[in-house]
Amino acid sequence: MDFLLHIANVFLLISFSARSMLWLRALNLIAGAFFIAWALSFPEPMWASIGWNSLFAAVNVWRIWKAILERRPPVLSAEEQALYRLAFGALDPRAFRKLLDVGQWENGLPPSLLVESGVRPDRVWMVSSGRIEVVRDNAVLRCIGPGDFVGEASFLSGDPMPASVRIKEDVRFVSWPVDGLERFMSDDTEVGAALQRILGACLVRKLHAV
């Protein structure tokens, strides 16, 4: 039954050249099955080898299942899908789902003051619906609508807000704590860079409007 051992080692050898972790684990799983068949072919089965390869197989099955779940498209509500199309199309949908999990949906009513001038906010907001005003010396500098951030300049620069922000009409938005958003961006540098570009594009768009 040595041919079972050779087949197992062939699959093991092929797995070393697999670029995908999913394929590597699948090939290791097949190799393990042949190792177990080989260990069972003896008059007195090699129980130690069977035990270890069964354990390796269980770990590989679990990791393959986790990888398949991670590759599935995330479930987004109609509101989340609208926000994704509006402002976050540069992110992978799975990364967007994780970003939403860091923040929280909120409702705002006028004439609430969202953040005051001279203060560095501890959150960053993204407007989903409604209008928010940027005010300085009782003069409205501009309005912020759906698809725009609030507090992104302070988040990127670390400086306090140069003007106050107040809610003009019923508004729906997502807010993220600054420390949570920083961790999210540092945990995955590629996603973090994409999100930084989205924040920067929003800031540039506001500057052009001014």
139-144 sheet: strands from edge to edge: 113-115, 164-167, 132-136, 139-144
In percent, the amount of the chain with pLDDT more than 70 equals: 98
Tell which residue, 31, 25, 26, has the closest CA to residue 9: 31
Write down the mean pLDDT value for the chain. Answer: 87
- Listed in sequence order, the DSSP H helices in the chain are 2-15, 21-40, 47-71, 78-87, 93-102, 152-157, 178-187, 189-209
Type of residue numbered 189: T
Indicate the pLDDT class of residue 202, thresholds 50, 70 and 90.
confident
So what's the pLDDT on residue 124?
A: 93
Write out pLDDT tens, residues 48-65. Answer: 888 898 999 999 899 888
Question: What's the whole-number mean pLDDT along residues 71-81?
Answer: 85
Question: What's the whole-number mean pLDDT along residues 2-6?
Answer: 79
Cα first-last separation, the chain: 79
Write out pLDDT tens, residues 94-132. Answer: 899 999 999 999 998 888 888 888 889 999 999 999 989
Domain boundaries, the chain: 2-71, 78-209
- Structural domain 78-209, CATH architecture: Sandwich (2.60)
So what's the pLDDT on residue 208?
A: 62
For the whole model, what pTM was predicted? Answer: 0.68
Judge contact between 109 and 172, C-beta under 8 A: no
In percent, the amount of the chain with pLDDT more than 90 equals: 27
State whether residue 84 is helix, strand or coil.
helix
What is the rounded distance in angstroms from the CA atom of residue 16 to the CA atom of residue 76? 37
What does DSSP say about strands 139-144 and 113-115: parallel, antiparallel, or unpaired? unpaired
So what's the pLDDT on residue 156?
A: 85
